[in-house]
Structure 1
Amino acid sequence: MSRRTAIRIVTATLLTAAALIFRPDRAIQGATGNVAQTLCSEVFVSGLPEARVYAQSLAPNPGLRLLGPLLRHKVDRTDRAVEASWAGLFASRSTYRGAAGCRLAYGRPPEPAPLLAPPTLRTDSLAGPAPVETENPVLKAALDHIFAEPAKPPHRWVRAVVIVHHGRIVAERYAPGIGVDTPLLGYSASKTAINALVGVLVRQGRLEVDAPAPVAAWKPGDPRRAITLDNLLRMTSGLAVEETDTGFDPTSQMLFVEPDMAAFAASRRLKTKPGERFDYASPNTLLVASIIRQKVGGSETDVLNFARRELFDPVGMRGVVFETDAAGTPIGSTRMLAPARDWARLGLLYLHDGVVDGRRILPEGWVAWSTRPTLGSDYGAGLWTNAGDAPNAKGRVRAGMPRDAYFASGRLGQRIYVLPSQDLVIVRMGATWSPDFDIAGDLRLIRETIAALEPVPRP
């Protein structure tokens, strides 16, 4: 065998091995799934223009840019669906399903939308139907600053800010084409809603966070049976479910390739002992969402109606759209849409220790447990926290965020800040592509908002 032939054989072998390990086909399939699902959700649920959604929510994505002009999509307004493909291959299709939002088809015909109970109509205690415009010059300047676009990319593209003080909206602002009723995608801020639903089931005596997670795929003798619900909520399960947002990572492929996301998450091996290491990854949350679905009846209709009846309606969140996978499991890691005011109501639930209008929704002590730092990180159990000594938490405190503050956070700058010492909730939604999603801009907004509002009177 000649040297050249040997080199060719070795090269071909290495390339084949790399393809089998990294599965570029699945990465491309995930990319088309991302395009189809994001466009479907933000065009048909949020009501945003197709060009705006692609320019703000997709085009800046480095992985999608690598695929170049061969990555194409089509919005079908007749069937209310979006199809995306690369070079005519790896097609993904997402279809709008009314109150259940959009769902990827996974090569199957569209399923009928579930029969959901309508939200309960009630008087809005936060504000009237029109956006609240502040006359406070300091607060107005704070909104000007957070909405101001930098001279060059990455853009902020802030879509909504809502500021709630003493239980009332004192200021809010929306980008053009977005209003008080526009459902906005929360990405990982959705995890806080999953935390709340677990809290409801704990209060009802139907779940225990310290008990082994009831995952049917983990049979007796399986070391994964040691994983608790606490481990899943705190991202300490030890499962090999890395999240790098590259398209090659298990999380990306779970979200846009796998029809049963929780089953995929349950199939992952252990890489560390449960409870020993914090490793933030969305498949943990999908397992929790699947557990919730099984506990409340098992079907998509059961779980969505449970969420509306036991959480969203009592809290006053009338505009929530929670998307599901093909198994009917809410994609609780990333796919809840809600108007900015509804996100603020979720923040108020935590600010008020899980009580709304005198009714306890979350068990006593749940908020304190949820905001307790996990293994030296600045993450609790579905919320990020300033408690503890994690560098990020200490940095936020130095920058002016109160020590007792905590927040829900999703990619592209979806954040719900809860500041108990100020009796304050601040919601900020956007399509912000800076590496930290403009946390510095948010910290300035928080500092300026605190300065603009009178301190809470001491008892």
Structure 2
Amino acid sequence: MIRHSTGGSLLALALAASAPAFATAPPITSADDLGTAVSAQIACAGIFVANRAEADVLRDDIHALAPFTKAVALSVDRKAGTVTASAPGAATRTALHRPAVGCTLTTGDVPLKALDAQAARLSPLPQPSARPWPQGDLPAPGLQAAAETKLDRAALDAAVSAAFEEQNVGGYPDTRAIVVVQGGAIVAERYAPGFNQDTRMLGWSATKSIMGTLVGLLVDDGVLKLDDPAPVPEWQGKGDPRGAITLRQLLTMSSGLTFVESYKPGNESIKMLFEAGDMAALAAAMPLEHAPGTHWSYSSGTTNILSRIVFDATGGTLEGMTRFAQTRLFEPAGMRSALIEPDESGVLVGSSYGYATARDWARYGLLHLNHGEAGGKRLLSKQWLAFALTPTPASPRPSYGAQLWLNRAAPDEEGRKVLQDVPPDAFMAMGHNHQIVAVIPSQDAVIVRLGWTPEGQKFDWNTHVSRIAAALAPAAAPAK
């Protein structure tokens, strides 16, 4: 069920005083509480960021997500720019939309008025560029023709179709978008009904890779240094062992901090994403469990600490961090639809809440495939990219770099690649519900799959990505 309030402009944002919708959020103690919290966040973005129909968002995103979201109802207030999620026996939760920055799940922990003013000063996201692909969306016939001569068109079409037809049973849009780029050209592109090349889609943890890139820009600028102690205020007390954690260790998930990534009520991941107004503060408050640099542990909390480091380094405001992301990464790379939603403290939630069109996720992959260059300009140094793609020594397997997954296996365990049948030089940004941006240098290719695979079901990354890759031609050997 969806209830509606109609009205005027989405710019009516000064809502800080409008309790009870923004009363302090209660702790999440049950799966039903988690259901309303996650539903408010993703439904708000589905409606206001992706511009999808409210009934489609409720049916295909909320009720399909997990068993504990099936009873959720939504109340949409278009004048205020809010979505409220409720369910029997669960705490009611609200998310607020701000133009140019997306949606924020409200908790009452942090006043909203100052953030509203910052968001109001940001310009709307730029319109698509009237330039040929990849900087814009106009056709690039020369690139297209060259790419077409090298691939197996019938096999590629069949592989892309299989990723839809084998998953989208009964009309449910599990696979929502696939974009395949080879030789710089889009050689395959398909969308489920209700989605198109202008639909922004959630990357979930693929956002971590983007946040890593934003850190990389600051390292290239000399603002941050990989082997200096990370500039985290909570760790600066005399004798605090966390003060020894370096930026390198945060980037490679080897900080040693305690953080339980499994998504169950009471765990740090749930408290951070759905209870805390300042997510980085919660993550930074965690104690050390291992000596820094000695243990690898995947942690969304670690990425949100990195997010706040970027926030502080770019002026300490939502406006400053958003402008930095737009002007230094998104616009130069052609990713004009991209945004990362903030928490109430104004810090972009780098662990989880990045939205972009499928083409813009592909452009993010192209930036890496093209060795840090886009639009004829260098955005990232080769030194940064080499670091980002170097396996972290703290991990027992060589499958993680700096906020990127690597398709490598140790010499004695070749059968343990992340994607077994995909070339070993591939690297990936990956996220919940089986989002993937796979970059395969040996095939000069980027493969993007965005979807919404429900809990308990599976999208076989290896099978579908390898089928597509098998239809593509190997990259030409570099000139000597």
TM-score by length of 1: 0.86
Q: What does residue range 28-177 of structure 1 map to in structure 2 within 5 Å?
A: 29-62=33-66, 64=68, 69=71, 71-87=72-88, 90-107=91-108, 111-112=115-116, 113-117=119-123, 118-119=125-126, 121=129, 123-126=131-134, 128-129=137-138, 136-150=153-167, 157-177=174-194
User: In the alignment, which of 191, 200, 212 is matched to residue 229 of structure 2?
Assistant: 212
Instruction: Tell me whether 1:242 sits opposite 2:248 in the alignment.
Output: no
Residues 283 and 346 of structure 1, relative CA distance in 2, 3 Å threshold: same
Secondary structure of the 2:463 match is helix
Change (3 A) 1:30 1:170: same
Does 2:341 match 1:328? Answer: no
1:369 corresponds to 2:376: no
Q: Is the 8 A contact 1:156 1:433 kept in 2?
A: no
| 1:383 and 2:404 matched | yes
Distance 2:319 2:205 in 1: 23
Question: Is 2:363 the partner of 1:345?
Answer: yes
CA distance change for structure 1 residues 99 and 39 in 2, over 3 Å: closer, same or farther? same
Separation of aligned partners in 2, 1:391 and 1:40: 47
Tell me the secondary structure at the aligned position of residue 289 of structure 2: coil
Relative to structure 1, is the Cα distance of residues 382 and 398 closer, same or farther in structure 2, using a 3 angstrom cutoff? closer
2:423 counterpart letter in structure 1: P
Partner residue, 2:431? 410
Cα pair 2:167 2:175 within 8 Å, conserved: no
Amino acid in structure 2 at the alignment position of 1:77: R
Contact 2:202 2:354 in 1 (8 A): yes
Within 1, Cα distance between the matches of 2:366 and 2:413? 24
Percent identity between the two aligned chains: 37
Whole-Å separation in 1 of the counterparts to 2:452 and 2:466: 22
Match of 2:475 among 431, 435, 456: 456
**8 Å contact 2:229–2:247 — kept in the other structure?**
yes
Measured after TM superposition, the shift of residue 241 of structure 1 is: 1.3
Alpha carbons of structure 1 residues 260 and 146: separation in structure 2 relative to 1, 3 Å: same
1:116 alignment partner AA = L
Q: Is the 8 A contact 2:437 2:449 kept in 1?
A: yes
Deviation at 1:445, TM superposition (A): 3.2
Q: Secondary structure at the match of 2:210?
A: helix
Give distance in 1, aligned partners of 2:312 and 2:321: 8
Deviates more, 1:325-334 or 1:381-390: 381-390
Equivalent in the alignment of 2:205? 188
1:347 maps to amino acid: G
Tell me the residue number matched to 2:450. Answer: 429
Cα distance in 1, alignment partners of residues 168 and 198 from structure 2: 30
Deviation at 1:231, TM superposition (A): 1.5
For residues 249 and 60 of structure 1, the distance between their equivalents in structure 2, rounded to whole angstroms, comes to 23
Query: Whole-Å Cα distance in 1 between the matches of residues 216 and 366 of structure 2?
Result: 15
Structure 2 contact 58–74 (Cα < 8 Å) conserved: no
Residue pair 1:186, 1:414 contacting (<8 A) in 2 also: yes
Q: Is the partner of 1:232 in helix, strand or coil?
A: helix
Give the match for residue 17 of structure 1: none
2:283 pairs with 1:265: yes
TM (norm. structure 2) is 0.83
Aligned partner of 1:380: which letter?
Answer: G
- Report the Cα offset of residue 125 of structure 1: 2.1
Counterpart of 2:462 (choices 440, 443, 451) is 443
1: CA distance between counterparts of 2:418 and 2:88? 49
Is the CA contact (8 Å cut-off) linking 1:386 and 1:394 kept in structure 2? no
Aligned Cα root-mean-square deviation (Å): 2.9
Q: Return the letter of the residue paired with 2:320.
A: D
Quote the Cα distance in structure 1 between the aligned partners of 2:349 and 2:244: 24
Which moves more between the two structures, 175-184 or 348-357? 348-357
Residues 180 and 445 in structure 2, CA contact (< 8 A), matched pair in contact too:
yes
Structure 2 CA distance for aligned equivalents of residues 72 and 398 of structure 1: 38
> 2-side partners of 1:413 and 1:239: how far apart?
26
1:149-177 deviation digits (Å, cap 9, x = unpaired): 45979x77101000010111111001111
**Would the aligned equivalents of 2:368 and 2:385 in 1 still touch at CA under 8 Å?**
yes
211 and 87 in structure 1: CA distance in 2 versus 1, 3 angstrom threshold? same
Q: Displacement of 1:267 after TM fit? A: 1.1
Relative to structure 1, the CA distance from residue 338 to residue 24 in structure 2 (aligned partners, 3 Å threshold; closer, same or farther) is closer
Q: Report if the CA contact (8 A) 2:208-2:351 is conserved.
A: yes
Instruction: Tell me the secondary structure at the aligned position of residue 92 of structure 2.
Output: strand
Q: More deviation in 396-405 or 109-118?
A: 109-118
Measure how far apart 1:105 and its partner are: 2.2
Q: 1:74: Cα distance to partner?
A: 1.8
C-alpha displacement at 1:384, in angstroms?
0.6
How far, CA to CA, are the matches of 2:64 and 2:169 in structure 1? 13
Matched letter for residue 97 of structure 1: R
Measure, in 2, the Cα distance between the counterparts of 1:434 and 1:130: 37
In 1, the alpha carbon distance for the partners of 2:190 and 2:251 equals 33
Q: Deviations over 1:201-248 (max 9, x none)?
A: 111000111211100111231111111111111111111111101233
CA distance in 1: counterparts of 2:233 and 2:189, whole angstroms:
45
Tell me if the contact between 1:30 and 1:253 (Cα under 8 Å) persists in the aligned partners: no
Deviation of the 1:63 alpha carbon: 6.2
Q: Which amino acid letter does the alignment assign opposite residue 401 of structure 2?
A: G
Residues 453 and 109 of structure 1: is their aligned pair in 2 closer, same or farther, counting only changes over 3 Å? closer
**8 Å Cα contact 2:407-2:426 kept in structure 1:** yes
CA contact (8 A) 1:322 1:335 kept: yes
Q: Which runs of 5+ in 1 are unaligned?
A: 1-22
Deviation at 1:92? 1.4
SS across alignment from 1:59: helix
More helix by share: 1
Distance (whole Å) between structure 2 residues aligned to residue 366 and residue 240 of structure 1: 27
Helix, strand or coil for the counterpart of 1:96? strand
Contact 1:353/1:366 (8 A) holds in 2: no
